A and B are shown apart, each in its own frame.
Chain A
């Protein structure tokens, strides 16, 4: 929309409106921030002279094994990311370069998972995990997500847009199927990998219900479940501790987001347009 059809007062008005909405949108976060960095008696009282403190964070860090939770989440997300990249790349490559009778139908079947995500089937998946003895393990949390229909779909779209000539040229130079994949397809699809990677990292960093069901110990709990366990104990007792724990748990992702804001937004756009 160009500004052509807007008069100056209208522009001023929209700017004010946009900013008001923006302030309203971050206000909850700022308020949580305030509470976390001040002594408990200022939890709900806004007073500019209130002393700032890191005490809440120190107490939270001592009260629950947050470092372990972070480590668990880090392992979980890395495991999922690497496996999804490999598995989805292989499947997408098969759909694009090695079509066979019925592979179109198989692809349609894959798309079912776009609608029916693993968490919807949590009761059955829990039984499956218990049968194969993977309850309360990081691998167990990850398994249902490793073959992602979304990933396969996205990579297939990208691979399909790569000109056949590139593939042919590599083949003429004597490259085999694996070399073609690694030297032609993957490099060209790099932006898609980054986009998908950011989307999947934030999804699994934030995922809660399935890990809550599967995990049962400090050694496996991701940060979201750890935060909930902590908050359930503390709730109604000390809001400054709960908000400090909450801020602590979102800090890594939030910092990453603020640093790579442009990439994040563009990745979500790219993954969404498809």
Chain B
């Protein structure tokens, strides 16, 4: 009796969420996989089954590899740097500091701004000759450069913005974790004669490990999900130096309207995210968080 009542009530309550999740998450995931096996319909030519042709094309596509490489560099630089900064910020803000609230706000403010706005402001800083960054570089005799226009520096310029924007966000999680560390533990370390650095390494950092894993997973997802600044600042230029995977999908799908190929590219992105999910469920959940 109770079981059937539960199934009825539960089912009805879940219905709206289930319909929406099916329509905009599961069905598109399946649809992407199916579409990646078809050619793109053009004009009167309908899409035909092409097997793994789109994937073959992807393997031969230098832009795809460029995007993957860029995304890897982007993730491997933005994530550790913004997390290290976030940890430092959290430690600073958590210490007895004059004007603590103001400092915390300064670190956190970039986080709540839209990436589009951030990108537009920074576009101005990066402007050759009169942008703030370029004027700073002029002091060292490196001025007059269009940092966003040169293949060697364009991705780096985007990386700087991402770190600036993300560090304050990650700081919040470290701060929350730091405030949960029992003061007795730190006092005990102090009584044992441990220096600040020893306490940091032996007590604080291990206790922050769950938070570090939690943040890194969010950061990895973020590195593949957020491409607003690419759209605003470079559109992948120069010479695909700033093309990230999701931006390439966007470009292929809505610039060239090549939906078949865009689907194949999306499958790669889905695989990457699935790998992260497996890692999280298999490894991280055993040790950390959730629950």
Contact = CB atoms under 8 A, between A and B. Distances in A.
Interface string B100-130: 0111111111101111110011111101001
Interface in A91-118: 91, 93-95, 97-101, 103, 106, 109-110, 112-113, 115-118
A246 B103 contact: no
A142 to B, nearest CB: 10
A206 B250 contact: no
B121 A243 contact: yes
B154 interface: no
B96 to A, nearest CB: 5
B121 A121 contact: no
Contacts of B205: none
Contact of A272 (B10, B17, B176): B176
B187 interface: yes
Contacts of A264: 108, 112
A120 interface: yes
A35 interface: yes
Contact of B249 (A26, A123, A254, A273): A123
A177 B6 CA distance: 11
Contact of B24 (A143, A209, A246, A257): A143
B13 A90 contact: yes
Which of B115, B172, B204 gathers the greatest number of chain A CB atoms within 10 Å? Answer: B172
Contacts of B95: 1, 3, 6, 11, 14, 18
A26 B99 CA distance: 15
B41 to A, nearest CB: 11
B32 A121 contact: yes
Classify chain B's interface size: 35 or more
Contact of A121 (B25, B112, B178, B196): B25
A5 B20 contact: no
B116 A123 contact: no
Contacts of A209: 227-228, 231, 246, 250
A32 B6 contact: no
A74 B180 CA distance: 36
Which of B89, B93, B95, B276 gathers the greatest number of chain A CB atoms within 10 Å? Answer: B95
A23 B246 CA distance: 33
A77 B239 CA distance: 37
Interface stretch (A60-68, A163-171, A182-190, A224-232): A224-232
Given A5-B190, A239-B124, A115 B172 contact: no
Interface string B235-262: 0000000000010011001100001001
A208 to B, nearest CB: 4
A11 B95 CA distance: 9
A126 B109 CA distance: 32
A31 B118 CA distance: 12
Contact of B13 (A4, A91, A116, A235): A91
30 contacts: A1-B94, A2-B183, A2-B190, A4-B186, A22-B107, A26-B106, A27-B132, A31-B132, A44-B127, A97-B9, A98-B7, A98-B13, A100-B6, A103-B10, A106-B18, A121-B32, A123-B254, A124-B263, A126-B254, A143-B20, A147-B21, A207-B114, A209-B231, A213-B254, A231-B123, A239-B124, A250-B113, A265-B172, A269-B173, A273-B177
Given A5-B189, A28-B110, A147-B16, 19 more contacts: A2-B190, A19-B99, A28-B122, A29-B110, A44-B127, A91-B16, A100-B6, A116-B29, A117-B221, A120-B269, A126-B253, A147-B20, A177-B9, A202-B112, A213-B250, A213-B254, A243-B120, A243-B121, A268-B169
Interface of B: 3, 5-7, 9-11, 13-14, 16-18, 20-21, 23-29, 31-32, 35, 88-89, 91-99, 101-110, 112-117, 120-125, 127, 130-132, 135, 164, 168-169, 172-173, 175-178, 183, 186-187, 189-190, 194-196, 199, 204, 214, 221, 224-225, 227-228, 231-232, 246, 249-250, 253-254, 259, 262-263, 266, 269-270, 273-274, 276-277, 289-290
Interface of A: 1-6, 10-11, 14-15, 17-19, 21-23, 25-29, 31-32, 35, 43-44, 86-88, 90-91, 93-95, 97-101, 103, 106, 109-110, 112-113, 115-128, 143-144, 146-147, 149, 152, 177, 202, 205-209, 212-213, 224-225, 227-228, 231, 235, 239, 242-243, 245-246, 249-250, 253-254, 257-258, 261, 264-265, 268-269, 272-274
